[in-house]
Chain A
Amino acid sequence: MKNEKTQVDDHGQKCYAFPNKPTPGMPVVIDETKCTGCNKCVNICTTDVLVANPEKGKPPIIVYPEECWYAGCCVAECPAPGALTMRHPLMMRVHYKNKETGEINRV
């Protein structure tokens, strides 16, 4: 309420009129502290889900997440350990059961 005029929310974030993001919104997650911005993932990506950052040396940007084919070629190509992780969408995370204890978990 207090920021009504400047359209800034309670955390100081500007509030945009964003449209809904497509689903799934984030097929791969980049750890920006580890990414070197080499763009190897951008080059290998079969459908240009990832595009190069206009600022050289900065991490790539996910622009077309709903087009991801989920083979993880980008992850296989990334030379910086832990910089790029594949994230299967939630509805695709399957369950497994420990044969001895019967405990059930989700990947």
Chain B
Amino acid sequence: MNWEDVVRESGKPMEWPYPVRYGVVNDVDVDVVVLGGGPGGCMAAISAARKGCTVALLDKAYPKRSGGGSGFDHWLNTPNPASNITPEDCVEWEAVTYKGYSNSLSRYIAAREAYDTLLEIEKMGAKVRDLDDDFKGAPFRDEKTKFVFCYDYENRFQFRVWGATFKPAIFNECLRLGVQVFDRVVATSLLTEGGKQGARVVGATGINMRTGEFYIFRAKATINAMSCHQTSWRFSTESIGLDMFKPNITGDGPAIMWRAGVELAQMERSRAAVPPGYEYPSYGTGNWWNTWHPASMVDANGKEVPYVDAGGNVVPVEERCRPRPGQKFIAERSRDPQYSKPTMLPDLADRIRKGEFVLPLYADLAGMPWYERKVIWGLMVGNEGRTKIPVLLNYAAAGFDAQRDMLQNYFTLSGEPYPSMDATLALGPYRMEAFGNGGEVVVDWDLRTNLEGLYAVGDAILAGNYYYHACATGRYAGRKAAEYALKLNDAPSIDTAQIEREKTRVYAPTERKPGKDWIDWKELRFAGARAMQNYCGGLRNEGLMKTGLKWIRDIKEEHYPETYASNPHILLRVLETYNILTIDEVILQACLARKASSEVLGHFRQDCPEIDPPEWRKWVTIKQADGETNIGELPLDFHGNLAGNYEAHNPDYKGYMKKKP
């Protein structure tokens, strides 16, 4: 039944089903408040609670499945007993692949503690090994530990896991430890000492997205686990959720950080993407990426489309997950020949155009060894976050049988305008935030931001992404925040004027009347996306971006104040829109500040055409102080000596890596 049925049945419009309590204030006092309850936030809450802190955890949704909670299939970069890979190796492949634009500090922390983290989550009830012996005898299984691996069956540091079991187990542990959970409470601002930008953080404010109630969280330490920004360039007023890479991620985190004076970096990074509304279900088509690697591909006549390695050699199915002679190891997503996996021919599109392969292509799981078929169309598709119900189960119900049928592929000239296989897309206006290895918050070896009392985890960290990284950094930041909070004697004082200012800002959309133009949040977001496409697209220059910045500011200052919210759900969308427009401003300022083109950052300037000139091999940082934008810079190797710094900051930590000689 949808709202139209309700009207038909009752003859009346539907009333908001939850109590509406705008302005009602809830006051919560804890040692540690965690903003965002994805895997990173939940692990942070657990680790702070285990240290003896009182902890509040808030999330836009119910944390059992929120954030990366519906599932995932790869647990990456984890040195473990079945592997000789070191934390240094894990850091190195990304640094090489992204030409230094990867955050070796948080990657190193994560790699050092990822195995301990994985075992801890297993104890909470997640499935991390093949205990049912489904893959007994498969070349990717370690018979002793029953771990199953992907990408590189020899070096075994990238796990295949039953990721759909993780979040419920982690969240259950939060409940068991007495973490106070505030589901559907949305963080709106950080509270700072004296209400001053850049001062010590003393808590946060929030609103309930069903009732509109206001929340004040007083805390000795605050953890930003609200993930990254997305959807600045791509928005359609319909199919809104379909187009989102991650649910509920609308730049709230970085926008809240920005307003408080937190230092962000690499906000100018983005990559080419398809226009909104055009994607097929992710991993719901036959393909050779990520979840589906190393699925065999054939053309319409059943002719095999070969996998080739970086040297151009054709790689048979048995060898697709083994390093080629002389290669150190294979790493997920690396396109650098040192670490890249065998994949489709780089000139596949041209070969199809010339008739070598006939469209459409299909993934031929039926023609693969049993263990590859079963692990892809089972473990992997069954746990990747958006495929279990809609793809694995629904396709089976519709008659698809992986042992008999081939699933059509829509990439490469055949319908899906997927960025990876069509070079022309890079020149188009549609961009996607880097989501992996993107911008966000600069952190130190305690995963603390530039503001005292404020820590960051997971995708909220500069260039942070991946599940293992979210869990391991969450666990680490929770520990560090707790240590800090437990050292403080007095609860920090809150600035009441700052709270009043925030209440006024948050409730403004509910108090005004609908403007005569009836501009609502969707139109604002559409306009913001258009401004980004037109003025910060595939090719940029100073004049273009300045116009873009002016347009975004016009939207924010002239039109946003007219937007009306008729219920708490719409209020949330209006507030999110404000955050997205704020992030657009930050992105444009960062892009203006980087006066050089960069391949890795997806930043191409007509007025500075030289690609990655050596003097620009650094991060551009951006923050606000007294309401003014401050641009700075950070060396790519700001982490310093990895092992030395890690040891110095964690003298008492015991775990798998500590025992190893």
Interface 1/0 per residue, B394-405 and A, CB below 8 Å? 110011100011
Instruction: Decide if A71 touches B18 in the complex (CB within 8 Å).
Output: no
Docked CA distance A34–B247 (Å): 28
- Chain B residues 36-51 with CB under 8 Å of chain A are none
Please pick, from A32, A51, A71, A99, the residue contacting B17 in the complex, using a CB distance under 8 A: A51
* Chain B residues within 8 Å of A14, by CB: 8, 11
Docked CA distance A30–B2 (Å): 10
A54 within 8 A of B: yes
Cβ of B70 to closest chain A Cβ, rounded Å? 4
Known A-B contacts A18-B4, A61-B3, A62-B2; the reply to A44 vs B65 at CB < 8 A is yes
Instruction: Decide if B66 touches A46 in the complex (CB within 8 Å).
Output: yes
B284 within 8 A of A: yes
- Nearest residue in A to B282 (C-beta to C-beta)? A70
Interface size grouping (class) on chain A: 35 or more
Cβ of A10 to closest chain B Cβ, rounded Å? 16
Cβ of A86 to closest chain B Cβ, rounded Å? 5
Instruction: Decide if A48 touches B569 in the complex (CB within 8 Å).
Output: yes
Instruction: Decide if B406 touches A96 in the complex (CB within 8 Å).
Output: yes
Please pick, from A13, A24, A64, A99, the residue contacting B404 in the complex, using a CB distance under 8 A: A99
Interface-facing stretch out of B94-102, B129-137, B238-246, B438-446: B238-246
Instruction: Decide if B17 touches A52 in the complex (CB within 8 Å).
Output: yes
Instruction: Decide if A69 touches B404 in the complex (CB within 8 Å).
Output: no
B390 within 8 A of A: yes
Interface 1/0 per residue, A4-45 and B, CB below 8 Å? 000000000110101001111111001010000000000111
Instruction: Decide if B8 touches A72 in the complex (CB within 8 Å).
Output: no
Known A-B contacts A72-B388, A76-B389; the reply to A63 vs B247 at CB < 8 A is no
Interface 1/0 per residue, B326-354 and A, CB below 8 Å? 00000000000000000000000000000
Instruction: Decide if A46 touches B8 in the complex (CB within 8 Å).
Output: no
Interface 1/0 per residue, B58-76 and A, CB below 8 Å? 0011101110011100000
Instruction: Decide if A21 touches B2 in the complex (CB within 8 Å).
Output: yes
Docked CA distance A43–B62 (Å): 7
* Chain B residues within 8 Å of A94, by CB: 280-281, 284-285, 407-408, 410
Please pick, from A22, A92, A96, A100, the residue contacting B238 in the complex, using a CB distance under 8 A: A22
Instruction: Decide if B2 touches A89 in the complex (CB within 8 Å).
Output: no
Instruction: Decide if A44 touches B17 in the complex (CB within 8 Å).
Output: no
- Chain B residues 355-400 with CB under 8 Å of chain A are 360, 362, 364, 366-367, 385-386, 388-390, 394-395, 398-400
B210 within 8 A of A: yes
Instruction: Decide if A92 touches B280 in the complex (CB within 8 Å).
Output: yes
Please pick, from A70, A96, A99, the residue contacting B390 in the complex, using a CB distance under 8 A: A70
Instruction: Decide if B406 touches A47 in the complex (CB within 8 Å).
Output: no
* Chain A residues within 8 Å of B284, by CB: 88, 92, 94
Q: Which residues of A contact B (CB under 8 A)?
A: 13-14, 16, 18, 21-27, 30, 32, 43-49, 51-54, 59-73, 75-77, 86, 88-89, 92, 94-100, 105-107
20 contacts between A and B (CB under 8 A): A16-B8, A43-B62, A45-B61, A46-B66, A47-B248, A51-B18, A52-B17, A54-B15, A61-B2, A61-B5, A69-B244, A73-B65, A86-B390, A88-B281, A88-B390, A89-B239, A94-B285, A94-B408, A97-B408, A98-B404
Q: A47-B241, A61-B3 are in contact. List 12 more A-B contacts (CB 8 A).
A: A47-B247, A59-B1, A68-B242, A69-B247, A71-B65, A71-B71, A71-B385, A77-B65, A97-B362, A99-B302, A99-B404, A107-B399
